[in-house]
Amino acid sequence: MREGKQIIHMDQDAFFVSVELKKDSSLIGKPVIIGGMSDRGVVTSCSYEARKFGVHAAMPARMAKMLCPHGVFIKGSMDAYSKASHEITDIIRERVPLFEKASIDEHYIDMTGMDRFHGCMTYAHELRQTIMKESGLPISFGLSVNKTVSKMATNECKPRGEKNVEASGVQPFLNPLSIRKIPGLGEKTFVKLSDMGIKKIYTLAQIHPDQMNMLMGKNGLSLLQRAKGIDNSPVIPYAEQKSIGTQCTFKADTIDINMINNLLTSMVMDIAFQLREKKKLAACITVTIRYSNFEDVTKQASIPYTSLDGTLIQKARELFKQVYTKRMLLRLVGVRLSSLVNGFEQIDMYSESQEQYSLMQAMDRIRKRFGEKAVTRASVLNIEL
């Protein structure tokens, strides 16, 4: 274990709910539930008061209403959540040497070597106070020797908490915790290990690597490493230019607007699928066209974090309408998604009913098995380029 590492994990407390409480203070102390406005809806987030009744994210709205009949259900606003996320990222960007935006509401900060100038715990505390003062939103943090342990430290001190786990205290901190607390450990793995009598991290950490490899292969060895507090993954510098996109050059210059709109639909569906495959969201979309005289024109727009086909298709078509201003033949059209972060599950559930969300997942499974073109919209089937 590298004792010199100093990694901070900062995570907003019940982020969506906190944004709603900031807008309406009368909700403070109440069991607030975001999403699930209809019986077929899905809970996106909930307050700590609602969690006491057993409500949690991804739960069907019908069940949430049974568990918490007096809950305050709010549709929510992805525009507001995205805006708050960008504000917090900007605060962090101005004050730290290296950070990674891990999702819409969490950041990793690498302070390694900075303790020569600042005490890392003191600096993290001051940064947390600054974020809360400037954003008006609660946040917690964990400080430790790597990303895994710092994230687990944050989870153990939420809400409104701070926790420092030094190198010498990593294993004593981890040992009594449930294996469920290990980041990335899924429900099936939890059940499998529990059935074997492995419920605490201490027990898991004692398993021989060969046995773990036999049980679960490489994933098992990775899990064993995390149980021992070992994680060498770096803090990846956050960069707005991270993107995914595609473009198409026509065989013959065209002015067929209907065909181009259908093509944009197909292109967006392809890259949105790739986005979901990577479990990422986009906060910016760009459309580019090239006229027959080789003049390129580009238009981009900031959008609420999403990876949904419908939302992205609508915005791409709007941008194309804005960028195509000359009655001139086109040679090329392209679309790109950027400002990518992790976390598509939570956000997409916000925008979709349970039925629609299940349909999207089913379509993605078909694409994974039979190829990206195995299922698509009828309007894009007969595009001729």
pLDDT, tens digit (0-9, with 9 covering 90-100), for 166-210: 999 999 999 999 999 999 898 899 999 999 999 999 999 999 999
pLDDT at res. 377: 57
In angstroms, rounded to a whole number, what is the distance separating the alpha carbons of residues 29 and 212?
45
Cα separation, 223 vs 226, whole angstroms? 5
Distance CA 273, CA 368 (A): 9
Q: For residues 287 and 321, give the distance between their C-alpha atoms in angstroms, rounded to a whole number.
A: 10
Contacts of 103 (CB under 8 A, 6+ apart): 341, 342, 343
pLDDT at 351: 55
Tell me the one-letter amino acid at 288: T
- CA–CA distance, 201 with 39 (Å, rounded to integer): 38
Strand, helix or coil at 259?
A: helix
Q: Which residues of the chain have pLDDT under 70?
A: 1-3, 116-117, 239-241, 344-358, 370-385
In whole angstroms, how large is the CA radius of gyration of the chain? 23
Encoded tokens for 334: 């392209």
Record the tokens describing residue 207, joined without a space: 């398993």
**Calpha distance 85→137 (Å, rounded):** 10
Distance CA 160, CA 154 (A): 10
Residue 8 has φ and ψ, to the nearest 5°, of -100, 135
Amino acid in position 126: E
Q: Work out the end-to-end distance of the chain between its first and last CA atoms, rounded to an integer number of angstroms.
A: 56
pLDDT for 1 equals 43
DSSP string, 104-165: TTEEEEE-TTGGGTS-HHHHHHHHHHHHHHHH---EEEEEESSHHHHHHHHHHH-SS-EEE-
pTM of the predicted structure, to 2 decimals: 0.79
Q: One-letter amino acid identity for 81?
A: Y
For residue 202, which of 225, 172, 243, 239 has the smallest C-alpha distance?
172
Q: Can you say how many angstroms the Cα of residue 47 is from the centroid of all Cα atoms in its chain? A: 19
Dist. CA 230–CA 1, nearest whole Å: 6
Q: What's the rounded Cα separation, in Å, for the pair 149 and 81?
A: 27
User: Which of 106, 240, 372, 384 does the annotation list as catalytic?
Assistant: 106
Strand 72-74 relative to strand 32-35, pairing: parallel
Q: Tell me the three state secondary structure of residue 10.
A: strand
Do 347 and 104 form a contact (C-beta atoms < 8 A)?
Answer: yes
Structure-token match 């790597």, residue found: 146
CA angle 341, 346, 348 (to 5 degrees): 90
Taking every pair of C-alpha atoms in the chain, what is the biggest distance, in angstroms? 71
- Write down the pLDDT at residue 249: 93
What pLDDT does 2 receive? 45
Spatial neighbors of 51 by CB under 8 A, at least 6 apart, are none
CA-nearest of 150, 60, 67, 156 to 112 is 150
| 134 is an active site residue | no
- CA angle 311/15/156 to nearest 5° reads 135
| pLDDT of res. 384 | 53
Q: How do 106-110 and 330-338 pair as beta strands?
A: unpaired
Are 101 and 89 a contacting pair, CB within 8 Å? yes
